Amino acid sequence: MTPHVELKNHQRERYLFSLRLIFCLGFVAVLLAILVARTFYLQVWKHEYFDTMAESNRIFVVPIVPNRGVITDRHGEVLARNYAGYTLELTPEKIPDLNATIEEIGKLVEIKPKDLRRFRKLMSERRSLQTLPVKTRLTDEELARFAAQRYRFPGVEIKARLFREYPLSDTTSHLLGYIGRINQLELDDLEKKNLAGNYMGSDYIGKTGIEERYEKEMHGVTGFEQIEVDAGGRAVRMLSRTPPQSGKDLQLTLDAGLQKVAEEAFGDYRGALVAIDPANGEILSFVSKPGYDPNLFIDGIDTESWDALNNSPDVPLNNRALRGQYPPGSTIKPFMALTGLHFDARSPAFSISDPGYYMLPGSSHQYRDWKTGGHGKVDLFKSIVVSCDTYYYGLATELGIDRMHEYLEQFGFGKQTGIDLKGETSGLLPSTEWKRKRYEQIWYPGDTVSAGIGQGYNLVTPLQLAFATAILANDGVAYKPHLVKEIQHAPDEKQAQPEPLYDLHIPAEHLALVKGAMAAVVKPGGTAVGAFWGVQYPVAGKTGTAQVIGMKQGEKYDEGKVSEYNRDHAWFIAFAPADKPRIALAVLAENGGHGGSTAAPIARKVLDYYLLGKKPKPLQKVIEQAGAEDD
Amino acid sequence: MNLRLIKQRFMLHLDPILLSGLGALLLVSLLTLYSASGGNEMRVFGQLGNIAIGFVALWIVANMPLHWLMRIAVPIYVLGMLMLIGVALFGEISHGARRWLNLGFMNFQPSELMKIAVPLMMAWYFEKHEATLTMKNYVIATLLLLMPVALILRQPDLGTSILIAASGFYVLFLAGLSWRIIGGLLVGAAASAPFLWNMLHDYQRHRILMLFDPSQDALGKGYHTIQGMIAVGSGGLLGKGYMQGTQTHLEFLPERTTDFIFAVWSEEFGFVGNLFLLGLFAFVIGRGFMITAAASTYFTRLMAGSITLTFFTYAFVNMGMVSGILPVVGVPLPLVSYGGTSMLTLLLGFGVLMSIHTHQRLVKT
């Protein structure tokens, strides 16, 4: 390439560039002209139109927050309601010196350290230009005092608001959950779902429980008013109003009376209870102990109360009924018995001679029965009544873990029940495939032995166990457990009767045998006889004990020697009346020791109330009376 | 040391004509911000701080010799890309979008850096291959552009990705991309519109739909557009007067100090005020074109042209959005809207322009 050619290229290129630049100049000129034309159109041509709009305009679009739906129990007792009250709210952006202002307000209205702490917490998670309450629930006197001095506080307003209240407090905390102030994360989420408009005036959103799950139904549709204001921004008149549509009321399947009895029946025990109507899956009681006061959360909980709840060794914020996972222990035995019968691994007449331990063929390791020396001659019926471990060690070994998994899964073990609450855990029903995937290990015969009595890898939630009990009570016909009976104000959407999920088609003679044995559990010779002494209706039940810490070979569990939080968990499952069940339940008393002595008395009180309308006696007495047999 | 020498060393690299245009726009910014914030000096001081930082950056860049700019093009682009990938993988999520990178001591938005880095890289690339430009070079340059744009679009940040795409396209166009290919690209863009539509986030689609019928969402996004148009329209020929805009002061207007500041100016100073403001923009852009036309190398021509045209695009997209002919995409009015990051990037860009202008003048003399 000669220098001459390159120079020529260079010139040509400059020429080309100039052409392009001139084109760009034209492009810019045209677009600028469009802008001029557009502003001319808006500002001169259509000026009158927009001027009238701005003038007559001065219209504020004010959202009207719909009333949140009320929640009642199955008999109409109110569980969550709204009441009107006044709050004092600040807009931090409009206040130059926040601390000084709050201090000044404090001279008129009592602001507790708790209110201040909550305010600081809200500051950290607020949306921009959001007003934040520095004091909620003003008294009439405080209201009058502040109103008189209001001019001194720009950016501080009195607001009339509807407050949410949960009259039963702790009793329904885990079930209802609570609403709380909308934070930035939730706002982004609403924005993504295109719901931000509907939440323009809303300060609250369901955070957990029923309040979260049925947020859409209970929130309602925000209305708006167009208000004309004068040049000073004061409202002159209302131009139009699109009324809000109140949120729908929920009627729960819950029996509030039963819920209270159940909660009280726990006394100081931690634990959970779920009671289901087996004929339709309606949840009658849903307890997780300890509870907490959901009312604390509504306006943002203060740091101190939050730490107290969050750091308590009793973990009151954990919904044990829904999320707690425990070994099912001996409560698995009736289901194991049905599994044995289903696969013809056991006949009703077959019996073993129990020496008090079980050994796998070719091994000297002893799997001990809870009763030293054993139960003697044990058939299937007796194996449930006395809760014989040896019988189930052998049965499990013969069945193999995968057949157990196949059949037990149909009772809802190892998967979510599909209850209408968020955050359900699925428990664990082990199988060879599961162990390979989870631990990349093969399944050992010893794993099967302990799985046979509901220990080892097995984990259930109280809800799952109640569900399984309900399926058994209802002769193998399963209904999805649910908490909402009816969503009101929806006459066109006639609430359909719940449809059964599936039918296990358990042969009648199998059912009769297992249910008969469970009925004998509460009779003399059974593991729960103490708790059900003198019961006036037929009950079928099963005790269970879930180990918290493992015992070494040859070591004996001694309640006195282990610390409180390491004691065994006590289980009891039951349904009644045994011949025509109206209620099926599962009770867990954490670190309660034996199912017969702590969990069964709780179940007794719940059943007495539900079936006889009896209020229970104080807790301590019942436990003393229940000189329970072991399990 | 005599005064002339000092002047030559530190001051000569500023262009007084361009500087006066920028100064006028920044005065408009301070004036309007004071009104838009309801007489809050804090906003004005805040913006003064932004301007001060921006001017330091402008002055430093303007005094950089051109071959320095050439030398940092590749490292800056690579650094920017790495940070964009970093954002996609570990970025901080704020307001539902992943745009920020936490550097420990500060949160940094790499997409802002790319506003300069992308045209710089592309201009550098064309300069390198100036003598032997073939189709292959255009394809590679396009890829250099599309990679960061796709990453920023995914954050999601529609406004910034449009601006960067535009700045890169201007480089391609000025570098002489053939008209046939531009035509083909336009057809291709039209054909891929449905695909792009699917890539957009729901809220972005919603905003585009709003353009056609803002009234359908009177409580949500449509509100912005409607109130903006009312503010502009009600300003009339002469405006309602400074600090007198009802839309502004009764707080009908959203984002008054940022994206919708043009509506505040329009409402208070009317059509006449708008002609003046558009005149100022035209003046700055015109000066930019003059610098471009006089630039001596291929690299500086492409760079200067792209900076000037991108600045114009900024202004056009914002004013078009406020006056209701473009969808609300979240682009501030350059030099006028409140904001530190965009002020810094813009003034950096003008620093490059001044460096291009002043350094070659020195070369000539």
| Residue A441: per-residue pLDDT | 86
Q: A42 to chain B, minimum CA–CA distance in Å? A: 4
In chain A, which stretches have pLDDT less than 50? Answer: 1-8, 619-631
Residues of A in contact with B275 (CB under 8 A): 36
A16 at B interface, C-beta within 8 A: yes
| pLDDT tops 80 at residue B79 | yes
Q: Which of A300, A251, A291, A250 is nearest to A272 (CA)?
A: A291
Residue B5 maps to a domain: no
Exposure string of B17-39, with b = 16+ CB inside 10 Å and e = fewer, is: ebbebbebbbebbebbbbbbbee
**Minimal C-alpha gap between A103 and chain B (Å):** 23
Contact B320 A38 (CB under 8 A): yes
Q: Of the candidates A596, A601, A595, which has an alpha carbon nearest to the alpha carbon of residue A620?
A: A601
Assess contact for B314 and B331: CB atoms under 8 A: yes
B161 vs A309: CA distance, rounded Å: 46
Is 50 exceeded by the pLDDT of residue B98?
Answer: yes
Burial of residue A293 (number of CB atoms within 10 Å: 0-12, 13-18, 19+): middle
Q: Taking CB atoms and an 8 Å cutoff, what residues of chain A touch B319? A: 35
- Cα of B82 vs its chain's centroid, Å: 22
Residue A32 touches partner B, C-beta closer than 8 Å: yes
| Side-chain half-sphere exposure of B221, counting CA atoms within 13 A | 22
A439 contacts chain B (CB < 8 A): no
Q: Is B313 on the interface with A (CB under 8 A)?
A: no
Q: Verify whether the Cβ–Cβ distance A13 to B298 is below 8 Å.
A: yes
Backbone angles phi, psi at B100, to 5 degrees: -105, 145
Q: What's the 3-state SS for A338-349?
A: HHHHHCCCCCCC
DSSP summary character for residue A329: G
Q: Which of A17, A20, A197 sits opposite B217 (nearest CB)?
A: A197
**Total beta-carbon pairs less than 8 A apart between chain A and chain B:** 137
CA–CA dist A569, A602 (Å, integer): 14
pLDDT at A403: 93
Whether A20 sits inside 8 A of B323 (CB atoms) is no
Could you tell me the end-to-end alpha-carbon distance of chain B, in angstroms, rounded to an integer? 22
Q: What is the DSSP string of A446-507?
A: HHHHHHTTT-TT-BB-HHHHHHHHHHHHTTTEE---BSEEEESS-SSSPPPPPPP-EE----
Helix (H) or strand (E) holding A544: strand A540-546
Cβ of B350 under 8 Å from any chain A Cβ? no
Residues of chain B with Cβ-Cβ distance to A196 below 8 Å are 220
Q: Do A39 and B206 touch (CB under 8 A)?
A: no
**Chain B contact present for A36, CB below 8 A:** yes
Question: SS3 for A529?
Answer: coil
Assessment of whether the complete model's pTM goes beyond 0.80: no
Residue A66 CA from chain centroid, whole number = 25
Q: Which domain holds residue B238?
A: 15-364
Asked if residue B29 is part of any domain, the answer here is: yes
Whether A588 contacts A273, CB under 8 Å: yes
With CA atoms as reference, the chain B residue closest to A183 would be: B95
Stretch B67-94: mean pLDDT, rounded? 84
A23 contacts: CB under 8 Å, gap ≥ 6: none
CB contact A229 to B (< 8 Å): yes
B128 in a domain, yes or no? yes
**Residues facing A250 on adjacent strands:** A71, A487
- Burial of A492 from C-beta contacts in 10 A (0-12 / 13-18 / 19+): exposed
Touching check for B250 and chain A: CB below 8 Å? yes
Chain A CA closest to residue B220: A197
Q: Beta partners for A245?
A: A221
Q: Which residue of A has its CA nearest to B239?
A: A43
As for the ipTM of the complex, it is 0.90
User: Measured on CA atoms in the order A562, A565, A566, A571, is the torsion positive or negative?
Assistant: positive
Nearest-angstrom CA–CA distance, B331 and A156? 33
List B residues 189-218 in contact with A (Cβ-Cβ < 8 A). 201-203, 206, 217-218
Q: CB contact, 8 Å: B325 with chain A? A: yes
- B220 vs A184, A192, A197: nearest CB: A197
B1 part of a folded domain:
no
Question: Are A293 and A259 contacting, i.e. CB atoms less than 8 angstroms apart?
Answer: no
Distance from CA of A47 to the nearest CA of B (A): 5
CA A463 to chain B, closest CA, distance in angstroms equals 35
In degrees and rounded to multiples of 5, residue B56 shows phi and psi of -60, -45
Strand order in A223-229's β-sheet? A59-64, A223-229, A235-242
pLDDT in tens, B206-259: 666 665 666 555 555 567 788 888 888 888 889 888 888 877 776 677 788 888
Q: Name the minimum distance, in Å, from the CA of A211 to any CA of chain B.
A: 24
Of A20, A54, A193, the CB nearest to B173: A20
Higher-scoring residue by pLDDT: B334, A494: B334
Of A9, A38, A229, the CB nearest to B250: A229
A21 neighbourhood in chain B, CB within 8 Å: 174, 289, 292-293, 305
What's the sign of the alpha-carbon dihedral A231, A235, A241, A247? positive
Query: Between A338 and B187, whose confidence is greater?
Result: A338
* CB of A39 less than 8 A from some CB of B: yes
Cβ of A81: how many Cβ atoms within 10 Å?
Answer: 15
In a domain, B291, yes or no: yes
pLDDT in tens, B271-305: 999 999 999 999 999 999 999 999 888 899 999 99
Two structure tokens written together for B174: 């000025």
CB contact under 8 A, B236 and A44: yes
- Do B345 and B115 form a contact (C-beta atoms < 8 A)? yes
Name the packing angle between helices B222-235 and B261-294 (round to 10°).
80
Rounded to a whole number of angstroms, the distance from the CA of A285 to the nearest CA of chain B is 39
**Can you tell me the distance from the alpha carbon of A337 to that of A331, in angstroms, rounded to the nearest whole number?**
11
**Bridge partners of A289?**
A271
Q: A39 and B293 in contact by Cβ < 8 A?
A: no
A477: Cβ–Cβ under 8 A, 6 or more apart, which residues?
Answer: A471, A500, A502, A503, A504
B310 shares contact with chain A (CB less than 8 Å): no
How far, in Å, CA of B363 to CA of B231, rounded? Answer: 50
Q: Is A95 on the interface with B (CB under 8 A)?
A: no
What is the SS3 assignment for B127?
Answer: helix
How far apart, in whole angstroms, are the C-alpha atoms of residue B308 and residue B17?
15
CB A292 within 8 A of CB A173: yes
Instruction: Kindly provide the residue ranges of all beta strands, DSSP E only, lying in A91-155, ordered along the sequence.
Output: 132-135
Active site members of A: 330
Tell me, yes or no, whether B231 lies in a domain.
yes
The answer to whether residue A44 neighbours chain B at the CB level (below 8 Å) is: yes
Angle at A578 between CA A379 and CA A285, to 5 degrees: 120
Measured between beta carbons, the chain A residues lying within 8 angstroms of B283 are none
Q: Tell me if B182 is assigned to some domain.
A: yes
Q: Does A42 touch chain B (CB under 8 A)?
A: yes
Using CB atoms, pick whichever of B217, B234, B237 lies closest to residue A54.
B234
**3-state SS, residue A319:** coil
Q: Does A43 touch chain B (CB under 8 A)?
A: yes
- Whether residues A43 and B316 touch (CB distance < 8 A) is answered with no
Q: Pick from B37, B137, B232 the residue to mutate for testing the A interface (most A CBs within 10 Å).
A: B232
B362 pLDDT higher than 70? no
Domains of chain A (ranges, CATH numbers): 63-252 (3.90.1310.10), 256-310+322-625 (3.40.710.10)
Candidate from A3-7, A165-169, B68-72, B195-199 with smallest mean pLDDT: A3-7
Mutation for testing the B interface, residue in A16, A21, A93 having most B CBs under 10 Å: A21
pLDDT of residue A2: 41
Q: Nearest CB to B229: which of A21, A50, A55?
A: A50
CA distance B352 to B341: 17
In a domain, B190, yes or no: yes
Q: In total, how many domains does chain B have? A: 1
Instruction: Name the residue among B362, B301, B356 with its Cα closest to residue B66.
Output: B356
Q: Is A626 helix (H, G, I), strand (E, B) or coil?
A: coil
pLDDT in tens, B21-59: 999 999 999 999 998 887 778 889 989 999 999 999 999
Query: What's residue A272's pLDDT?
Result: 95
Is the CB of B3 inside 8 Å of chain A's CB atoms?
no
Give chain B positions within 8 Å (CB) of A47.
Answer: 233-234, 236-237
